Structure 1
Amino acid sequence: MARRDAKFAPLLDQFVCVRLVECYGLDRSLFQFDSSLTMVSFFMNADGQVYGRYGSRAGRDDAELVSAEGLRAAMQGALALHRLWEQDRKAVEAKLVGKTAKESPWSRYEDIPLMKGRVMPAIRDKHKCYHCHWVQGGEILSRRREGRDIPDQWLWMYPLPDLLGVRLDPRTRSTVASVERGSAADKAGLQKGDEILEMEGQPILSLADVQWVLHRAEDGRQLPILVRRSDGKQTLQLELPQGWRRRGDISWRPIEWMLRGEVLGFHMKRMNDREKRRHHVNVDGPVYWIERVAPAWNKNANHAARKAGLKKGDILIAIDDRPPPATMSLFLAWIAQETKPGQKIRITVLRQGRRREFTYALK
């Protein structure tokens, strides 16, 4: 369709376009991206150096943060960067070093322990395909089963700059649309209308490039940001507070299915105050409605919850005599970071107004 668009065609003619639809053998030290996306574009040269990425997502709406205008702007930026690379390769390559990094111990999708055997059905005579949306969960659950810590970066991956108080216009490469008063971005001096040219010394072609830098940045440090304003260029310092990622929402990511169904054994959603009143739940703090218990046919699920007696419609009010986490995102983080395979937990629920307790082992 883009080929038939008069605004895209002249740009596409300057690229060699390759569409990847299967990921067998893909080099993950080069092709690193947010596996929760429905589409991602890489801009790179023939030497395998990444100029930038395009593709972002904030929730279940996969089109909110992408636009034809934004993609065209990123493509134009990539072409301009390539022309600079042809003129001075050494200088440009020095800025591109941070565009890739070895983040995972598993260099290919098929090497991730939990991904083995998990493929999408074959289409006609083609190979079966690894489902990209399962990659984050596959890595986290594999690491969890090995008894290794799971850092926040693995859960709150590719965070949006909104968490730091700055929103970018998705119709542009990286122009600031708004800055929240009193936020980290505001304290750094970012202003509406600023065009972000570089972060951490890396050229910025899109919101996805900003997310890439934030994804890899450590808490408690300052990120240098080069911006262009009407009065020229200026370098700002953006401070990353401790725990800033945890303000984000990860409940829309596919990993929530794996953590809830395969580890916990049931799926739930938080009840709001109105729902609590309607169901006569007189409990302070967060409570969760159990929407479904993992069915017997799901071979990857934790069936211990169902066998212990938990049922759809139960209202979860405590775990080991403590209130459950305050948000769905923190609940998922608790499962991933604070529990171990085989650990026994005691779930307290309300069923038809009566308290019931169930003890079983997590998977």
Structure 2
Amino acid sequence: MRGVNLNVFDFDYDLEWAALFMNACEKIYGRYGSRDADSANGRLSLAGFRYAMEQALAAHGRETPQPEPRTPQRTVEQFAAARRVKDHACIHCHQVLDFEHERLSQLGQWRREDLWLYPLPENIGLTLDIDQGNRILRVDADSAAAASGLRAGDVLRQVNRQPVASIADLQYALQRAPAKGQIELAWERDGKAHATPLMLRDDWRVSDISWRASVRKIGASPPVYGEDLTLAEKKPLGLSAKHLAFRQSPFVSKAARQAGIQQNDIIVGVDDKDLQMTASQFAVYVRLNYQTGERAKFNVLRDGRRLGVTLKLPASPAY
């Protein structure tokens, strides 16, 4: 990301892969690339990529290219945190978010809400067609989208005047939506154009962010790591299918080892809380609910015994 103008190349920096469709004057016609906690590529397809490209080309053909207003140059090197990265070392996309989180924290302006980036269509009750990213496959009952009158088969055209041809386009529009209030939708049904507002509900941006690399620099560092137990492994332990349970890996961190955590310990909770989540979600839970230096009791199963191992939570590593 060195030297890249972030005001032009503005996208979800946590993604492993993303594309922007633009002309020589740096006008952005659309975006492609999305993911969720379940899969890095489950929302991608060649057909969907082609469709988004075709819509971008159509938009380009409808206008006479004009130079875009000069966009102020904003680069990752301008962040103070970037100066700690060795010269000529790569600065990865997700580090843009890491550096921004650090900047806001130092100014006392960081908010927990800043972590809920690029909300998915499901956050407003929509499931979109992967092969045609603006076609609605399903509308969740009692959702904000249902209340706005959308139905399966409708085609989104704009959200808050942002053209939509892909899931990424919708996410880009939702990223810029207010925390409360409404957004304006333009859509088609059976070839007929419609427009309607969609009322945003409380906490509508919240979703599973356990996949995001930028979260790993937030809060206290979870000192335990491992693979989730399977349902077959949980059953004889008396644990439900979604109950937290993961086996400590062969690498035991210094903080965990000094507190008494051992390889193959099964972590089932913290401070006796009943947690329904995966190991990755647990790591985010610790980061969001505990501070560096705070003491926490990890609930552990070892050789059929339930133990409580208390340790002081270390800080997340800095650049």
TM-score range normalised by the length of the shorter chain:
0.7 to 0.9
Cα separation, 2, equivalents of 1:67 and 1:357: 46
Cα separation, 1, equivalents of 2:262 and 2:79: 33
Tell me the residue number matched to 1:289. Answer: 246
Cα separation, 1, equivalents of 2:61 and 2:43: 28
Tell me the residue number matched to 1:220. Answer: 180
Tell me the residue number matched to 2:312. Answer: 360
Question: Following TM superposition, by how much is the alpha carbon of 1:158 offset from its aligned partner in structure 2, in angstroms?
Answer: 1.7
CA contact under 8 A between 1:288 and 1:317: conserved in structure 2?
A: yes
Question: Following TM superposition, by how much is the alpha carbon of 1:190 offset from its aligned partner in structure 2, in angstroms?
Answer: 0.9
Higher helix content, 1 or 2: 1
CA contact under 8 A between 2:221 and 2:313: conserved in structure 1?
A: no
What is the aligned counterpart of 1:252 among 186, 204, 211? Answer: 211
Q: Give secondary structure in 2 for the equivalent of 1:56.
A: coil
5 Å-filtered alignment, 1:46-195, equals 46-59=24-37, 61-86=39-64, 107-112=74-79, 127-137=88-98, 139-140=100-101, 148-154=109-115, 156-195=116-155
Q: One-letter code of the match for 1:292?
A: S
Q: How many residues align?
A: 312
1:153/1:332 Cα in 2 relative to 1: closer, same or farther (>3 Å)? farther
Tell me the residue number matched to 1:275. Answer: 233
What are the Cα deviations for residues 228-276 of structure 1, in whole angstroms up to 9, with x where unaligned? 2225110122222112333x3222333466669x712222456576534
Question: Following TM superposition, by how much is the alpha carbon of 1:312 offset from its aligned partner in structure 2, in angstroms?
Answer: 2.8
Cα separation, 1, equivalents of 2:46 and 2:18: 13
Q: Give secondary structure in 1 for the equivalent of 2:30.
A: strand
Question: Following TM superposition, by how much is the alpha carbon of 1:140 offset from its aligned partner in structure 2, in angstroms?
Answer: 4.2
Cα separation, 2, equivalents of 1:113 and 1:180: 44
Cα separation, 2, equivalents of 1:334 and 1:171: 34
- Say whether residues 1:351 and 2:302 are aligned partners: yes
Comparing 49-58 with 197-206, which one deviates more in the overlay?
A: 49-58
What is the aligned counterpart of 1:41 among 14, 19, 24? Answer: 19
Q: One-letter code of the match for 2:307?
A: R
Cα separation, 2, equivalents of 1:276 and 1:143: 41
CA contact under 8 A between 2:250 and 2:264: conserved in structure 1?
A: no
Q: Give secondary structure in 1 for the equivalent of 2:186.
A: strand
Question: Following superposition, which runs of at least 4 residues in structure 1 exceed 6 angstroms of deviation?
Answer: none
CA contact under 8 A between 1:145 and 1:340: conserved in structure 2?
A: no
Q: Give secondary structure in 2 for the equivalent of 1:235.
A: strand
TM-score by length of 2: 0.80
Cα separation, 2, equivalents of 1:228 and 1:78: 18
Question: Following TM superposition, by how much is the alpha carbon of 1:52 offset from its aligned partner in structure 2, in angstroms?
Answer: 1.6
Question: Following TM superposition, by how much is the alpha carbon of 1:340 offset from its aligned partner in structure 2, in angstroms?
Answer: 2.8
Tell me the residue number matched to 1:264. Answer: 222
Q: What is the identity percentage for the equivalent residue pairs of Structure 1 and Structure 2?
A: 29
Can you give the 5+ residue segments of structure 2 that lack an aligned partner in the other structure? Answer: none
Question: Following TM superposition, by how much is the alpha carbon of 1:323 offset from its aligned partner in structure 2, in angstroms?
Answer: 0.7
Cα separation, 2, equivalents of 1:185 and 1:277: 38
Can you give the 5+ residue segments of structure 1 that lack an aligned partner in the other structure? Answer: 1-22, 297-302
Q: One-letter code of the match for 1:263?
A: S
Tell me the residue number matched to 1:339. Answer: 290
Cα separation, 2, equivalents of 1:255 and 1:306: 26
Question: Following TM superposition, by how much is the alpha carbon of 1:212 offset from its aligned partner in structure 2, in angstroms?
Answer: 0.8
What is the aligned counterpart of 2:167 among 204, 207, 223? Answer: 207
